[in-house]
Amino acid sequence: MLKPQSEKAVTNERECPHIVEFAVATDELDFQLSRRIIDFHKLRYIETPHGRRVVRGNQMYYRWCFSDLATACDFVEQFGGELPY
């Protein structure tokens, strides 16, 4: 059974299918980057739905979920990351 936090992340990924994966060096985001990401969402009047954290090899990825492809692409352009699908 998934933990409640994981269930929410899976739901976010299902409801907002345009997922951006962002590689991080540690288990936490840099404070300044986190603030910029929050501001990105506030300026667009959208929530900040997170997906699951994914580990491939030795690299951890945070996932953000978007309902539309254009916003996901704007996020990638501003912060990096990639659309894995």
Return the pLDDT at 68: 92
Q: How confident is the model at residue 72 (pLDDT cuts 50, 70, 90)?
A: very high
> Closest by alpha carbon to 65, among 22, 3, 4?
22
> Closest by alpha carbon to 41, among 78, 4, 10?
78
Alpha-carbon span 38 to 73, nearest angstrom: 16
State pTM to two decimals.
Answer: 0.82
> pLDDT, tens digit, for every residue of 7-63?
888 888 888 899 999 888 877 778 898 899 999 999 999 987 888 888 888 888 889
Domains of the chain (ranges plus CATH)? Answer: 4-79 (3.30.70)
Residues in contact with 23: Cβ distance below 8 Å, sequence separation at least 6, in sequence order: 59, 60, 61, 81
Return the pLDDT at 73: 96
